[in-house]
Amino acid sequence: MLSHLLASFATLPDPRCAGRTRHRLLDILVIAVCAVVAGAETWVDIAYYGQLKQSWLATFLDLPGGIPSHDTFRRVFSLLDPQQVEQCFRQWMATVAPPLPREVVAVDGKTLRRSFDRGRAQGPLHVVSAFATEQGLSLGQVAVTGKGQELTAIPMLLSNLQLANTIVTLDALGCQQAIARQLVAQQADYILALKGNQGRYYRAVKAYCHTACCQRWVEYPADYDAFDHRHGRRVRRRAWVLPLGEELAGLRAWPGLQAIIVVETIRQVQHQPGTRAEWRYYLTSCPDAPAVLIQAIRRHWAIENSLHWVLDVVFREDEARSRDRVATRNFAVLRKLAFNLLQQGKHQPGSLRTRRRNAGWNDNYLTRLLTCARENNRAAAP
């Protein structure tokens, strides 16, 4: 694992003046990754971790100038080109854990809420990530200045991922014909949430689904019907996978479109009167069975629950008060590197927070995380 990481970042250009450096760039990167895995949250934490673990780090790093200071870590990560750092991260993931066949790859954005700077009239950084839901790994990220720029980041992120034979899910912002065309060109299938931002298409699909599901229900019985009673809520979910009828002839302009998915959710919350019904609509190019499509829609939320929530709660990303835009963006990559390495330790007992603590206390455990090869039990593509 460490060899793959070093190989992927070996091409990262060093922005420092040649001949005037005391520390190797790869040493700085590896120390920072190990420190964040072990619980470091600031540049001061990273430098202190390196000082405490210098004898262990020297077993596999050259460290010609010893351990860099916290100012050196901050300065180097403020100089590194964040686009190149993100590209190296995506290259590493493509090497060690490419998406599985028919794996659901969820794409969504997250705002680093405390990365703003009022003095510079600088808003918080917004990061668009891709998440392999079955493996539980972050595949890559692209950062933009604000949520309004997310639509420009999605094509950039997708174009640098290996998505052949996967199912890519996006929310309503990513429901664009250009993105659908790009995914089809990359030999991937898509499930796109359809909402009011696609005005006439949304109205046409909504009217068609209402007729098919409510008035012609004998002809179109639900493909999925299940009850869920958890967390003080009773939920009934019904879903239909509907063919493209003549009423939806205008949607044939969407590249690769195969069907419409409509999901009805009826929810009753404990100690609250009445029930609430909600209808959601999706466009899909998938030829898979309805059960696969419904599961894919449910899996999309894994990027919120298993990545964004973990970054906030375990890595305290939303609390990080960094004003330098470049350093903040690069530190976000460090967190995802650490997250993916810790995911390799799933076979160990305890939560991810516990595994992170163990990595700080137990050098042997961190060594296993860095050197173990991920078990390759991927089935061959059909």
H or E stretch at 225? strand 224-230
Rounded to whole angstroms, how far apart are CA atoms 243 and 361? 56
Asked if residue 84 lies in contact with residue 13, where contact means CB atoms within 8 angstroms, the answer is: yes
Phi and psi (nearest 5°) for 243? Answer: -70, 165
- Kindly give the confidence (pLDDT) of every residue in the chain, 382 residues in length, as a single tens digit, with 9 standing for 90 and above: 678 888 999 999 999 998 889 999 999 999 999 999 999 999 999 999 999 999 999 999 999 999 999 999 999 999 999 999 999 999 999 988 899 999 999 999 999 988 877 777 778 889 999 999 999 999 999 998 777 788 999 999 999 999 999 999 999 999 999 999 999 999 999 999 999 999 999 999 999 888 888 777 666 788 888 888 877 888 888 999 998 878 888 898 899 999 999 999 998 888 788 888 899 999 999 999 999 999 999 999 999 999 999 999 999 998 888 878 899 999 999 999 999 999 987 767 788 999 999 999 999 999 988 886 444 333 333 3
Nearest by Cα to 190 from 254, 277, 143: 254
Neighbours of 186 (CB within 10 A): 15
Nearest by Cα to 127 from 279, 325, 267: 325
**3-class secondary structure, 276:** strand
Per-residue pLDDT, 72: 96
Rounded to whole angstroms, how far apart are CA atoms 230 and 270? 10
**3-class secondary structure, 329:** helix
Rounded to whole angstroms, how far apart are CA atoms 73 and 44? 9
Predicted TM-score (pTM) of the model is 0.91
Per-residue pLDDT, 377: 35
Residue 33 CB partners (closer than 8 Å, separation 6+) = 5, 334, 337, 338, 341
Residue 17 CB partners (closer than 8 Å, separation 6+) = none
Q: Which residue bears the tokens 């030999």?
A: 187
Rounded to whole angstroms, how far apart are CA atoms 114 and 136? 26
Residue 237 pairs with which residues in a beta bridge? 226, 265
